[in-house]
Amino acid sequence: MSNLPNRGGLYAITDTALLAERGLVSAAEAVLAGGARVLQYRDKGTDQPRRYQEAAALQGLCAQYQVPLLINDDVALALAVGAAGVHLGEQDGSVGDARSRLGAQAIIGVSCYNELQRVRQAQADGADYVALGSFFRSATKPTARVAELGLLPAAKALCNLPLVAIGGITPDRGATLIAAGADWLAVIQGVFAQADVQGAAAQFAALFPQV
């Protein structure tokens, strides 16, 4: 059974460079107020004190909103700030290692790109969800592997984990992805690059049942 609920929703991912002027914490609060149900801290920098400070601030904020904070690619940082879990790419270590360090209740997600074999392996390894995409061209990762819409129903038939769709998602595109089998929509630019972050988040949140 997955630690990430199947009920789905907006899975917002921060981009530190994108939020340099707006402010990471204030933008994150806006997206949570708009209805995001998961927040991922994604920062590829090497300034560890800054990364710890930012992740700790986001953890406190997520605790207020009762929303899980996941850390991109960094099990040690997730452990240090008490985050709910991590998201792992293909070069970011194993599910088993993350589980042993973070515990049975941690949420551990795995990028599977456009590969069903990765989906199968992630489930066997004990992941809590799989992320698929890029379904559309992404400004964050313009060279990302492209996933076809049919990957979602194929993955749904293959595993019983929640499916997170990612890559260039707008609210209109999000509705199409949900209809194809996505449980969650992972969005960066679609919320954090918008003039009204809270309003943009609310548009995505409205695509899902309100519970």
Which listed residue (111, 118, 134, 138) is catalytic? 111
pLDDT score of 125: 97
Task: Determine the pLDDT at residue 208.
Answer: 95
* Per-residue model confidence (pLDDT) at position 19: 83
Given pLDDT bands bounded at 50, 70 and 90, which one contains residue 154? Answer: very high
Q: Mean pLDDT over residues 128-156, rounded?
A: 89
Q: How confident is the model at residue 11 (pLDDT cuts 50, 70, 90)?
A: very high
Residue 1 confidence (pLDDT): 75
Q: Cα–Cα distance between 85 and 88 in angstroms, integer?
A: 10
Per-residue pLDDT, 211 = 58
Return d(Cα 17, Cα 107) in angstroms, integer: 25
What's the whole-number mean pLDDT along residues 22-26? 92
CB within 8 A of 55, min separation 6: which ones? Answer: 41, 69, 71, 77, 78, 80, 81, 83
Q: In terms of Cα–Cα distance, which of 75, 118, 84 is closest to 104?
A: 84
How is domain 9-205 classified at the architecture level of CATH? Alpha-Beta Barrel (3.20)
The answer to whether 134 is a known catalytic residue is no
Tokens 């992941």, located at residue: 127
The answer to whether residue 111 is catalytic is: yes
Interatomic CA distance for residues 133 and 143, integer angstroms: 12
Distances (CA, A) of 138 to 16, 188, 192: 16, 9, 13
Given pLDDT bands bounded at 50, 70 and 90, which one contains residue 16? confident
The stretch 159-187 carries a mean pLDDT of 97
Return the pLDDT at 69. Answer: 98
Shortest CA distance to 78 belongs to which of 124, 131, 10, 58? 58
Annotated domain spans of the chain: 9-205
Can you tell me the distance from the alpha carbon of 50 to that of 125, in angstroms, rounded to the nearest whole number? 32
The mean pLDDT of 62-83, rounded to a whole number, is 98
**pTM greater than 0.75:** yes
Active-site residue, 141 included:
yes
How sure is the predictor about 59, in pLDDT bands with cuts at 50, 70 and 90? very high
Q: How many CB atoms lie within 10 A of CB 207?
A: 18
**Active-site residue, from 120, 141, 156, 173:** 141
Instruction: Return the higher-pLDDT residue of 185 and 139.
Output: 185
Percent of the chain with pLDDT over 90: 84
Residue 133's φ and ψ, nearest 5 degrees, are 140, 175
* pLDDT score recorded for residue 131: 98
